[in-house]
Structure 1
Amino acid sequence: MPESISSDLSRVTESLQMLAPRWNVWVLMTLSEKPLRYREIKSALPWLPDGQLHPRVGKLVDSGLVERTEFESHDVLYGLSVRGRELLPVLGVIAAWGGKHLEKEMVLDPATGNRVPKEVPRAQDIEDTIALIAPRQATPILWALRIRGASSAKALAATAMPERHLTNVYQPLNRLAEDFLVTKDRQGRAELTAAGRDLAPVYQALSAWAAGSTLTEAVNHPVWAPKPAQPLDRPAMWATTQPRIPAVPTTPAHATWNPGDLFSHTAPVRSASAGATGGRTR
């Protein structure tokens, strides 16, 4: 890849690594309205014990997304930094892709009697979308396919991971195929699916944020700028094989969020006994 694109890709993958640890997005969204004390964050995310919540808050402070303000009385407030607030519109773009493409449990609508996708909190859509594209080599392969079009594994390895052995491309490529972001033909040539191509706004937004640019400039991305429409493939297939069941126990809603926020008012509980549409767990 050209040096400018390679640098852009590195910034995007580093940004995904900051967001990828589970529950990080939930912590960021809990702080999206105003700074909170630790006990208030804990009250909003009651399913997270201190052993999981405290390290996540600390890592987000270290990454510069959250600010820690300590007063003389040892009263500490946590709030989003400037960079953290600038990230919120990007998370909204990621949530939109997840809401459209990620698999959902089908439930019966009592009003119509029809089976409809069960509503999922937008924070969960963000987290699950990031879980698909954050693993090592996933995003470089997707970018290489966007640049090259249909390609062999050998060509993808040369573009996405030129310093690594050819065999290293197969595992991440197969996972992307299992998650329906990539499709492969009988000759083994891979290309992006409709869901993979629809990642364009996600990568545009992440690239702009990582470079400190505004999202209005994102549409002109050198790799993910709009291209002519292509025929739809697998129109009825969700874009992930993950079973979309978060480990959130039944709890009262302790935090209030506006309808326009990235959370729904209550994180719906999907029990482990519910039928999952996918096979891979986190």
Structure 2
Amino acid sequence: MATTAPPPSTPNDLLGVTKTLDLLAPRWSVWVLMTISSQPLRYAEFKPRLPWLADGQLHPRLRHLTNAGVIERTEYAPRHVTYGLTSRGVALLPVFTVIAAWGDTYLEKDLVANESTGEMEPERIAPAQNIDDAVALLAPRHATPILWSLQARGTATAKTLATEAMPGYGLTAVYKPLERLVADGLVTSSGTGGYQLTAGGRALAPVFQAISAWATAPTVEADARRPRGWGAAPSQNRSGPWATTPTRLPAPAVPAAPTSRPALATTPPDGPAWQPGDLFSHQMPARPISPAGGPRR
């Protein structure tokens, strides 16, 4: 993936990136947003599309994302409620494309046998899983500020990183998050007492830029007036599939995807192009099952 210059090191940009990562970090948040990327759904319609989602997990995710202003709850009647993306939620989908492309290129994959040729090749990972795994690496506290500082500096000592990325903490506090980033393959020791980004860490520049552009974009006036949370019943005089049709925001530019696999579809103005296969790498079960345990990628 081609990288660009690091994003401007301003407090507002960094704060916007870290808050957005916190928004997406709870498990299944990405899947919920992608599931309603093409049309609003009623509560019962989520289960067939997200069979691995355990009972009791959907409601808190919907509330979390609704309060954040990326999902809108529209109540037509006490038993007729739909959940769809707001304009802010729609504008987040192209950012997913950038994160998914980074994860597909830089996150490790197991080798599996090709059913046609029998040759070993990297396992196909669904975009939603790539996004979730990438967010899991970036969302831990202090991870993104450290990466942000190294994007700007190139090489920095632990003392410099502690001062810039963890103000108010002692020098020793920086070593634990640094060790985690080294283990995750995003940071490496320079050999002279400093730290620098790996190729995967440097390639996060367009990811941070896309997230920052989304986080700092002005909120559409209609969304600003709409109460965040569990909204009131919409006017029945509105037409269209949404009772309160959101304004579609223009998508930020998406860097070219790696040539090793077809580029993910971007989000056209009239709707996103995520496909069911972008949610899960394997066939969905006939009924809900518990997700397998094990470490994240």
TM-score normalised by the chain length of structure 1 = 0.77
Tell me the residue number matched to 1:99. 104
Number of residue equivalences: 235
Asked which structure has the greater RCO (Cα within 8 Å, sep 6+), the reply is 2
Tell me the residue number matched to 1:32. 37
Structure-to-structure mapping, 1:60-139, within 5 angstroms = 60-139=65-144
For structure 2, which runs of at least 5 residues remain unmatched after alignment? 1-7, 219-249, 256-270, 284-292
Deviation at 1:269, TM superposition (A): 4.3
Q: Secondary structure at the match of 1:151?
A: strand
* Aligned-partner Cα distance in 1 for 2:72–2:194: 46
Range with bigger deviation, 20-29 or 44-53:
44-53
* Aligned-partner Cα distance in 1 for 2:192–2:146: 18
Structure-to-structure mapping, 1:186-265, within 5 angstroms = 186-212=191-217, 216=252, 260-261=273-274, 263-264=276-277
Tell me the residue number matched to 1:158. 163
* Aligned-partner Cα distance in 2 for 1:11–1:158: 20
Paired amino acid for 1:264:
G
Q: Secondary structure at the match of 2:160?
A: helix
Identity of aligned pairs, percent? Answer: 51
* Aligned-partner Cα distance in 2 for 1:109–1:4: 44
Q: 1:259 to 1:104 in 2, by over 3 A?
A: farther
Q: CA contact under 8 A between 1:122 and 1:263: conserved in structure 2? A: no
Q: CA contact under 8 A between 2:109 and 2:123: conserved in structure 1? A: yes
Deviation at 1:188, TM superposition (A): 3.3
Q: Secondary structure at the match of 1:88?
A: helix
Q: 1:180 to 1:263 in 2, by over 3 A?
A: farther
* Aligned-partner Cα distance in 1 for 2:129–2:151: 26
* Aligned-partner Cα distance in 2 for 1:38–1:218: 32
* Aligned-partner Cα distance in 2 for 1:68–1:266: 22
Deviation at 1:49, TM superposition (A): 2.5
Tell me the residue number matched to 1:22. 27
TM-score normalised by the chain length of structure 2 = 0.73
Give the aligned CA root-mean-square deviation in angstroms.
2.6
Q: Does 1:267 align with 2:280?
A: yes
* Aligned-partner Cα distance in 2 for 1:259–1:33: 6
Q: Secondary structure at the match of 2:133?
A: helix
Q: Secondary structure at the match of 1:107?
A: strand
Q: CA contact under 8 A between 2:9 and 2:152: conserved in structure 1? A: no
Q: Secondary structure at the match of 1:99?
A: helix
